[in-house]
Amino acid sequence: MPVNLAKESAANAAVDEQIHNDIHIIGVGSGSTIVPAVKRIAEIVHKNNLDLICVPTSLQARELILSNGLKLGSLAEYQELDLAIDGADEVDEQFNCIKGGGGCQTQEKLVAVCAKRFIVVADEKKWSPCLGTKWTKGIPIEVIPVAYKLTKKEIEKQLGGEVVVREGTEKLGPVLTDQGNFILDWKFDPVKIVNWFDVNRTLKLVPGVVETGLFVNMIYKGYFGNSDGKVEIRTNPTMSS
């Protein structure tokens, strides 16, 4: 499949460039693009006998790390990571991104914040001029279950748009995160957004919100694969090398 080739090409390019002897502790993201990335990491680690510790962002990431024979760590043990690699639902030209389509945004952001460099791998369709242009499912927001109605009402009051509770596809009721919380998806009008930093701050101050899927200017470098297997590498000009 062209999309799978694009994801695999992006993952391989990122891992080949970023995983080397000077990298000792990394954060491992979640989602479909991370599967080939972890496989490539394992190949390099075993081939070069690297001493690499991997900190997961979800149960899926934990199982990937273990099934590929890599060393497992945790944020309880390591709060300073050399690198974090993850996927993205959409990345804009200011290197803001939306994450959380898979419901793991809280742990993903914790790991990204702990990393000296945060890189994303994705297919080229995830790159857009502004957030909300291609990803139209909304900003994922993790909330504590008891507060979801209050939180939904307050977000719509302060920021407009529509907030919906994410429902499960194979079970009745809301999707639960690894922390046992609900996810709200805030659907917004991209034209009305001026400053994502302010939007994220407003969301975080709403009672009941645990974390958002907005990663504002956190990306150091993005690797975007196309259906031909070629990869375009984009570096955030606001971050030093």
Residue 77 lies in a domain: yes
User: DSSP assignment, residue 145?
Assistant: G
Residue 132 lies in a domain: no
Query: How many independent structural domains does the chain possess?
Result: 2
Residue 240 lies in a domain: no
Query: Is the domain of 93 the same as that of 206?
Result: no
pTM of the entire predicted model: 0.94
pLDDT at 169: 82
- How far is the C-alpha of 49 from the C-alpha of 134, rounded, in Å? 41
Q: Which of 117-121, 159-163, 172-176, 182-186 has the lowest mean pLDDT?
A: 172-176
Query: Is the domain of 41 the same as that of 75?
Result: yes
Q: Helix crossing, 196-204 with 148-159: angle to 10°?
A: 150
Q: Which domain holds residue 194?
A: 139-212
Q: How do residues 101-122 score in pLDDT, each as one tens digit?
A: 999 999 999 999 999 999 999 9
- How far is the C-alpha of 223 from the C-alpha of 238, rounded, in Å? 17
Q: Which residues are catalytic?
A: 108
In degrees and rounded to multiples of 5, residue 31 shows phi and psi of 110, 175
Tell me: pLDDT of 170 over 80: no
Query: Is the domain of 92 the same as that of 16?
Result: yes
Query: Is the domain of 81 the same as that of 28?
Result: yes
